[in-house]
Amino acid sequence: ARITLRQLLDHAAENDYGLPAYNINNMEQGLAIMEAAHEVNAPVIIQASRGARNYANDVVLAKLIDALAELYPDIPVCMHQDHGNGPATCATAIQYGFTSVMMDGSLEEDAKTPASYEYNVEVTRRVTEMAHACGVSVEGELGVLGSLETGMGEAEDGHGFEGKLDHSQLLTDPDQAVDFVAATKVDALAIAMGTSHGAYKFSKKPDGDILAMNVIEDIHRRLPNTHLVMHGSSSVPQDLQDIINQYGGEMPQTWGVPVEEIQRGIKHGVRKVNIDTDNRMAITGAIRKALMENPREFDPRAYLKPAKAAMKKLCMERYQQFGCEGQA
Ligand code: G3H
Ligand code: 13P
Ligand code: ZN
């Protein structure tokens, strides 16, 4: 059954767990998420980026989500727009049946330029007004996502901004967060605390200086009733890097966000944890392995089946690690 983000995160807060939000682009990813959730009886957040909506087509994506929800009628499913860049993107998501939208006003509509605080408040407030009138939840973002280690802020296309941002722009200001939530009435707040999107977050296992978990604790102390969202939360597991490289990939050694840091965040108000890269890596590793081991094979099902299984395994692990088991 369809459910809003607000309903899911309220339940998560009452019961002290966090929910992974997995990105979708195709049927295999959708089935992997639902099969994993079904196996551990977890509620589901599926999210689609603007790129995903372009890739899969809005109509196909909307019907796919319908089908996934119909297949598992007992699992609550929230369909969420990931990184909406303006009111139009959020409005069309709502038209296609999304029950939640992210208005990412930390960047301007080009999704490349860091935006002013005033712009962020105004555009997010407008989206909240519209979405709430439709019974749809809203996630806002305050602070620019990017690695504290490199000082590079991050545009939507994954490329760092020209010129380094200063340290403070990459961390959400707790005072500003209080003001932002009051002014915009968002249901959930994405914060910046030193992570970036993609696989190449850190050049070593992050410590307290490059992953500012204390910022989360600060914000939670001041906004105990606001659901916090961590973006860039893939852990980039070593075994997935190894599989990819063992079967012909060339990924340089890298580190992501350790699961224990996410668990610490969940103790301090983090309720939605965005994960895409780990699933991409699970899929790619399995496909590389299947193709290398069976060079005469050309039926896509022969490599998509193990790919789906690898993603399902990762999704189940995160459901268990974040405390979602049995919460559906
Ligand atoms: O926001 C980042 C997510 O991993 C989605 O990525 O825009 O390439 O679909 P994407
Ligand atoms: P990762 O690239 O770390 O998986 O982050 C995904 C994300 O934040 C989607 O919004
Ligand atoms: Zn994100």
Alpha carbon distance 253, 73 (integer Å) = 41
Going by C-beta distance under 8 Å and a sequence separation of 6 or more, which residues neighbour residue 134? 94
Q: What is the pLDDT of residue 167?
A: 73
Distance 197 CA to ligand 3 centre (A): 6
Q: What is the pLDDT of residue 30?
A: 99
Written as six digits, the tokens of 323 are 């405390």
Q: What is the pLDDT of residue 124?
A: 98
Q: What is the pLDDT of residue 117?
A: 96
**Count of structural domains within the chain:** 1
Q: Does the residue 326 lie in any domain?
A: no
Written as six digits, the tokens of 245 are 């490289």
List the domain range (segments joined by +) for residue 299: 5-321
Domain containing residue 270: CATH number: 3.20.20.70
Q: What's the pTM?
A: 0.97
Alpha carbon distance 186, 178 (integer Å) = 11
Q: Does the residue 188 lie in any domain?
A: yes
Q: Please enumerate, by residue number, every residue annotated as part of a binding site.
A: 83, 104, 141, 197-198, 231-234, 274-277
Q: Find out whether the beta carbon of 147 lies less than 6 Å from any atom of ligand 2.
A: no
Instruction: Note the helical H segments in 76-139.
Output: 87-95, 117-133
Q: Find out whether the beta carbon of 52 lies less than 6 Å from any atom of ligand 1.
A: yes
Alpha carbon distance 302, 106 (integer Å) = 42
Q: What is the pLDDT of residue 79?
A: 98
Q: Whose Cα sits closest to atom 1 in ligand 2?
A: 232
Q: Find out whether the beta carbon of 82 lies less than 6 Å from any atom of ligand 1.
A: yes
Q: Find out whether the beta carbon of 234 lies less than 6 Å from any atom of ligand 2.
A: yes
Distance 294 CA to ligand 1 centre (A): 30
Ranges in the chain, pLDDT < 50: none
CA 148 to chain centre: 19
Q: Find out whether the beta carbon of 197 lies less than 6 Å from any atom of ligand 2.
A: yes
Alpha carbon distance 210, 275 (integer Å) = 19
Q: Does the residue 328 lie in any domain?
A: no
- Best residue for ligand 1 mutational test, from 23, 25, 106 (most atoms within 8 Å of Cβ): 23
Q: What is the pLDDT of residue 63?
A: 98
Bridge partners for 107 per DSSP: 114
Q: Whose Cα sits closest to atom 6 in ligand 1?
A: 49
Residues in the 5 Å CB sphere of ion ligand 3: 231, 274
Rg from Cα positions in the chain? 19
Q: Does the residue 110 lie in any domain?
A: yes
Q: Does the residue 30 lie in any domain?
A: yes
Q: Please enumerate, by residue number, every residue annotated as part of a binding site for dihydroxyacetone phosphate.
A: 198, 232-234, 274-277
Please, what is the end-to-end C-alpha distance for the chain in angstroms? 11
Q: Find out whether the beta carbon of 196 lies less than 6 Å from any atom of ligand 2.
A: no
Cβ–Cβ < 8 Å for 140, 180? yes
Q: 38 vs 41, 151, 293, 298, CA distance in Å?
A: 5, 40, 31, 31
CA 152 to chain centre: 20
With vertex at residue 235, the alpha carbon angle to CA 27 and CA 32, rounded to the nearest 5 degrees, is 20
Alpha carbon distance 173, 196 (integer Å) = 17
DSSP state of 192: -
Q: What is the pLDDT of residue 155?
A: 67
Q: Is 175 a catalytic residue?
A: no
Name the catalytic one among 10, 16, 66, 82.
Answer: 82
Q: What is the pLDDT of residue 159?
A: 63
11 CB neighbour count, 10 Å cutoff = 17
